[in-house]
Structure 1
Amino acid sequence: MSHPAVPLPPDEILVAGEWRRGTGAASETVDPADGGVITEIHHATADDVDEAVRRGAEAAASPAWRDLLPHERARHLHRIADGIERDADRLANLQTRDTGKTLRETSALVASAAGTFRYVAGALETFDDELTTQRGPSLTMSVHEPIGVVGAIVPWNSPVASDAQKIAPALAAGNAVVLKPAEWTPLVSLALGRIITDSGLPAGLLSVLPGAGSVVGEVIVTHPGVGKVSFTGGTSTGRRIAHAAAEKLMPVSLELGGKSPTVVFEDADIDAAINGILFGIFSSSGQSCIAGSRLFVAESLRDDFVERLVAKTRALRVGHGLDPLTQVAPLVHHKHRDSVAQHVERARAEGGRVLTGGQAPEGAAYERGAFYLPTIIDELPNTAATCQEEIFGPVLAVLGFKDEDDLVAQANDSAFGLACGLWTRDYRTAWRVARRIDAGTVWINTYKQFSSSTPFGGMKESGLGREKGRGWIAAYSRQKSLYWGLSDSPHPWAG
């Protein structure tokens, strides 16, 4: 398939408002649909991070940013959203080439990024500090102040939306941001950085520093000038960041992995459940932290339901992300495709039965790409590694349950607690089970829907903190209490 003529970002990184070639090693970005090289980007170095942090702190402390009123900072966020919307087609095409995702999905992610800036701008204009209840001879209040410099580390699976979800609230709170995109997918983050600097944001408030996590990410996390790190990615990396943050006594936001259950009760709308389950696990080619990768079906439905689910899975269209008919696009990288394939082979070794998929698709259109067929595996217990470890690919494990207590015990028997889906017509069952499941988000008769107004985050090894919602800006702020003495008399203690 021929690619549209999409301008590529130049081989430059953004260091505190200044665009220049990185002094680190060069890295090729690869189109996962055909293995071809898209372009080459020179990475940032530890020195670049240090400069970005120092100059970012100066920019955040400058009266030109520090003294802006909330509605004035909100105007900057709206201008960024305007720029994203003007360049939406290029951003979506660029992300499809860089990540392999379908153009339908990347277009939605770009729209989400613009919407994030607009929501946060609106929230900022109504973000009130608090006059607290008087309990003595003082007038008391609570105010929020900037942290200073925020480190933002984003994953490869949906960079433009993840970028916005960290940059927008951090800027709204008055901070500077040092953003590290994923090593495999830096292009759309660099393009977004160009839009933000062109919007008129004061120089120094944003840096975009591509590079390896072991180099750029490590320095961001441990740098004494970084006052908070917001990370989205794998649990093992998140745990290391939490250890480093503990040494610095620094707040962190960690949005980590998942092994989310999705549940079909006896009274479910079967057609709605099947379509929702397919979307929940196979959209994004399964490369989603909230993918519904463990399917629990009531035993009375299991055989017929799985038969229908398998038939509809086989009908999904696997292809290039730029093909408008594609539903399942290639995985982000050939190395990741090979990792997913190894997980499936281990499932077979554990005794799992592959009902469909379980291999790369055959044919000339697929031979050079990082494709993998949507895969459903049966006959594994919930204790199997395949049902406990995050695969991050288009692989669904089917399990059964006898009753509600059995379901809750199995669903909660996981190190993760990010999301859950429930399919039932009974609102009482939905309420009861939703409250018993260890998950930060529970979808009822839907799946993988998001709103900027609704907090998102995980429990257990799925992370710390929340993004989105009215508390979003506060999460990037330091809270301070002020007491105004009202007594006309000196304090009696001194006599």
Structure 2
Amino acid sequence: MTKYPLTLTQYIDGKVDHGNGQEHEITNPFDNSSICKLKSASKEEVDFAIENAHATFKSSKWQKMLGRERGELLSNLARIVKRDVEKFAHLESIDTGIPIRETRMEISTSALHFDYFAGHAGKIEGSFQDLGARFNYMIREPYGVIGQIVPWNTPFKLMARGFAAAFACGNTMVIKPSIVAPLSILALAEALDEAGFPKGSVNIITGSGRVTGKQIVEHKLIKKIIFTGGGEGGYEILQQTARNVTPSVLELGGKGPIIVTENIDFDETIDGVLTAAFARKAEVCFAGTRLFLSHQMHDKFIERLSEQAQKIPMGDPLDEKTQLGPLMTKKRVEDISKIVDQSKNEGVNIVCGGFKPTDKNLSKGNFYAPTIATNISHNSHMAQEEIFGPVLSVFKYDDLDDAVEKSNDSDFGLASYVWSNDIRQAHDLAHRIESGNVFINAYGYQSEIPFGGYKKSGVGREHGSEAMLEYTQSKSITVGMGRFQS
């Protein structure tokens, strides 16, 4: 149940349609109760959504729209989202399990994304070169229809960051939220109408990734893909887009290292590590999941860290006191339990957590206690694979060279963390870590900061001015000024 009316429709060409595809049940991770049932878009509806967005992009009205006019639309949308933050946050909490205190921040951050890229929409610049008898100028143009496939973890913010930049650049959009957590994005339809977005400029359709998502990715009118999700999904997209040579922006996961040096503010660092490791249930790609400590400080730090981890309040995501909500699905709990149990058999020491709570108010939900593990082989599953849940693996290092080497011994390179009171030392570590993003004594990204990964963590960059390059393509125009000479 929800106190806000649910938008359970496809949104195509400014109109709503209940969908003619397969029916899916949306459940609340807190107690696995049914929230609602939702029909996917049919194959014909997906095709129409893409063709309609393409027709809108090609229309003279769209082609003549100035960047500052698109910026005004995004500013309008930001204002509406700020006004309705409680509605969007509530809907996101009930179908993802993220605590309301965090979804409020996610929705507010999304509004900042809209505002930030509204300011960039009218500032897309090219270049000029004087070549003597010729001159050349370069302009940047939008791609066309961009397909955005949004995951179930922090869906509204992940939708907003890609959509805001791509729309600001002059592209039209077809957005597919996750079939298990679509509510906050479906509620965006009313806001788009109120903000004055042209019909067909943003279409929202629902369906599974393997059916609806695949159809979007392979459609010849889709000119670029935005995808955030698991590695296997990203690898499939790369194969599917090969036929049409469709470029993509992919964020595919992480195994974030946290290097803690010995010259730290102890209490502040404990708080920082807890946040990086367990915020949003650690169902985020940029979580800090591998903690590196010196032999000298290891025992003291882990004792304090585990004490604080066991105090993290778990409960109803709509309760203001809750800091750790339920995982997305029962299967997520089962998968993490198997990994932890197998690790125990391999000699891993579970300092705290490592179980599904049996408390009466938690037993029906998809909860897993914050877990800290030590004595881990660096080549084990727990050390190398993304667990995507509240499990922190701890390793000892001999010196900082050893810490960097172990941090870089990973297929991933999305977000990394350094805690140090020696700023020169911290900068040195940041430069040596193989990661698209390094946070020194900090956690979390924002609109202005370019975000993306190294290695198997993905390709492309979102946020910041670099995003404007991702969603435009350059066109070089050369003009001969004198008589033509071969």
Q: Give me the TM-score of the superposition, normalised by structure 2.
A: 0.98
Residue 6 of structure 1 aligns with which residue? Answer: 4
2:194 to 191, 198, 210: 198
SS of the counterpart of 2:136?
strand
Correspondence 1:286 to 2:279: no
CA contact (8 A) 1:43 1:211 kept: yes
Does 2:179 correspond to 1:183?
yes
Alignment of 1:25-424 (within 5 A): 25-130=22-127, 132-424=128-420
Instruction: Letter of the 1:483 partner, please give it.
Output: T
Give the C-alpha shift of residue 4 in structure 1: 6.1
Segment of structure 1 superposing worse, 284-293 or 163-172: 163-172
Alpha-carbon deviations, 1:208-267, whole Å to 9, x = none?
111111100000110111000010000111011112222221111001110010011111
Q: 3-state SS of the aligned residue for 2:121?
A: helix
> What is the percent sequence identity of the aligned residues?
36
Partners of 2:178 and 2:84 in 1: CA distance: 22
CA distance in 2 between partners of 1:135 and 1:369 (Å): 67
Q: Which residue, out of 457, 460, 463, partners 2:455?
A: 460
Q: Which moved more, 1:260-269 or 1:329-338?
A: 329-338
Counterpart check, 1:492 vs 2:485: yes
Measured in 1, the distance between the counterparts of 2:189 and 2:96 equals: 18
Counterpart AA for 1:249: V
Equivalents in 2 of 1:169, 1:304: separation in Å? 45
Q: Could you say what secondary structure the match of 1:421 adopts?
A: strand
Aligned-residue offset at 1:39: 0.8
What are the superposed Cα offsets for residues 172-225 of structure 1, whole Å, 9 maximum, x if unpaired? 111111111112101111001331133211111111111111100000110111
- What is the deviation of 1:122? 0.4
CA distance in 1, matches of 2:419, 2:321: 27
Residue type at the aligned position of 2:144: G
Counterpart-to-counterpart distance in 2, 1:474 and 1:283: 31
Measure the CA separation in 2 of the matches of 1:70 and 1:60. Answer: 14
| C-alpha contact 1:343 1:386 (8 A) present in aligned 2 | yes
Per-residue Cα deviation, 1:352-383 (whole angstroms, up to 9, x for no partner):
11111111112110111111110011111221
| Contact 1:79 1:199 survives alignment (8 Å) | yes
Q: Per the alignment, in what secondary structure is the counterpart of residue 273 of structure 2?
A: helix
How far apart, CA to CA, are the structure 2 residues paired with 1:14 and 1:170?
19
Q: Distance in 1 between matches of 2:194 and 2:338?
A: 44
Deviation at 1:446, TM superposition (A): 1.6
Alpha-carbon deviations, 1:331-359, whole Å to 9, x = none? 11222222222221122122211111111
Q: Aligned partner of 1:247: which letter?
A: R
Shift of 1:322: 1.1
Per-residue CA distance 1:113-158 (angstroms, 9 max, x = gap)? 111111001011222222x231232222111112111010111111
Contact in 2 for aligned 1:149/1:226 (Cα 8 Å): yes
Distance 2:11 2:396 in 1: 51
RMSD (Å) for aligned C-alpha atoms = 1.3
Q: How many Å apart are 1:40 and its aligned residue?
A: 0.9
Q: Distance in 2 between matches of 1:270 and 1:396?
A: 18
**1-structure distance, mates of 2:457, 2:235:** 10
**Secondary structure at the counterpart of residue 410 of structure 1:** helix
Q: Which amino acid counterpart does residue 455 of structure 2 have in structure 1?
A: K
Unaligned 5+ segments in structure 2 are none
Q: Structure 2: how far apart are the matches of 1:127 and 1:492?
A: 34
Per-residue CA deviation, residues 387-421 of structure 1 (Å, 9 max, x unaligned), is 10001000001101001221111101101001111
2:477 to 464, 468, 482: 482
Structure 1 unaligned residues grouped into runs of 5+: none
CA distance in 2, matches of 1:270, 1:247: 53
